[in-house]
């Protein structure tokens, strides 16, 4: 617990400064790097014995994320044309054939699950308004609300087969945390967004973030690992820290920038 809190205390001010006062190129680079790390962790869990596929999938996915910054007029559909690359890799190294389909679909799934959401995350980061700080704040306030509400009031399990510690009460507390975080950030950042709209978006985004958290828990459980990595002390890997943001990025990008 103490390690987790200390990591948050160190990282939170850096994140706030970066997305509030940092140069746009640095904001984009940080989102791209985070997405690349998430891809690397995901493929390490799903394909631990296939280093080439992991490198190719990570490089391809990171390239797709980067295309939003370097070629902002492009469409995510254009980037998905590169999905033939994993097929070439698996075709070139089909053994063991009985696992070839899994390997191919795992590579494709990583693009859909991580690269595309972070593609939209870059879109939020390069906007003139600090939308990405609003998104991160709403999601992470939801995480905090769920954690403390679950510890204080949690009785009914939310989805014990996937994540035994999560409770219905924690999920409700998380929605209230997202609501409060969204409202406060909209006011503090002076965003051009009516309060009722900022509240609604924060709640929907918070619900999607909780779904993303459960989805990552399912991936980890099926891969037999506790954390996606060890990058962030007390939090696990990068994907453990941003699993909710992954599901929230596309929604917020659609709602706020498109």
Which are the contacts of 227, defined by CB distance < 8 A and separation ≥ 6?
220, 236, 237, 240
Domain ranges (residues) in the chain: 2-257
Give residue 251's pLDDT.
Answer: 97
Give residue 104's pLDDT.
Answer: 95
Residue 143 phi/psi, 5-degree rounding, is -60, -45
Give residue 4's pLDDT.
Answer: 60
CA–CA separation, 61 and 203 (whole Å): 29
pLDDT along the chain (258 residues), means of 10: 60 82 93 97 95 95 93 77 91 92 95 96 94 95 94 94 94 97 94 94 97 96 92 84 95 91
Q: What is the Cα 222 distance to its own chain's centre? A: 19
Q: How far apart are the first and last CA of the chain?
A: 39
Fill in the DSSP letter of residue 207: H
CA–CA separation, 202 and 50 (whole Å): 39
SS3 163: strand
Among residues 249, 199, 255, 242, the alpha carbon closest in space to that of 11 is found at 242
Among residues 215, 255, 9, 227, the alpha carbon closest in space to that of 120 is found at 255
SS3 159: strand
67, 79 Cβ separation under 8 angstroms: yes
Give residue 143's pLDDT.
Answer: 93
Among residues 251, 219, 209, the alpha carbon closest in space to that of 110 is found at 219
**Angle (nearest 5°) at CA 39 between 34 and 41:** 95
- pTM as predicted: 0.93
């Amino acid at each position: 617990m103490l390690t987790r809190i200390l990591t948050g205390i160190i990282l939170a001010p850096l994140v706030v400064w970066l997305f509030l006062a940092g140069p746009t190129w640095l904001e984009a680079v940080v989102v791209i790097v985070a997405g690349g790390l998430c891809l690397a962790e995901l493929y390490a869990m799903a394909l631990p014995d296939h280093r080439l596929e992991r490198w190719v999938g990570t490089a391809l996915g990171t390239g797709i994320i980067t295309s939003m910054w370097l070629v902002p007029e492009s469409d995510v559909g254009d980037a998905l044309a590169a999905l033939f690359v994993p097929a070439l890799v698996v075709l070139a190294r089909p053994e063991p054939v009985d696992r070839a389909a899994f390997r191919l679909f795992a590579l494709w799934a990583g693009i859909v699950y991580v690269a595309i959401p972070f593609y939209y995350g870059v879109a939020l980061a390069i906007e003139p308004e600090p939308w990405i700080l609003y998104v991160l704040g709403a999601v992470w306030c939801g995480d905090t609300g769920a954690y403390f509400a679950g510890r204080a009031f949690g009785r009914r399990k939310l989805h014990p087969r996937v994540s035994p510690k999560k409770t219905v009460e924690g999920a409700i507390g998380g929605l209230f945390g997202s609501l409060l975080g969204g409202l406060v950030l909209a006011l503090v950042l002076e965003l051009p967004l009516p309060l009722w709209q900022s509240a609604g978006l924060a709640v929907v985004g918070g619900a999607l973030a909780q779904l993303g958290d459960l989805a990552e828990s399912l991936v980890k459980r099926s891969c037999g690992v506790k954390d996606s990595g060890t990058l962030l002390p007390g939090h696990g890997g990068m994907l453990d820290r941003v699993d909710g943001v992954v599901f929230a990025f596309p929604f917020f990008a659609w709602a706020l920038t498109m």
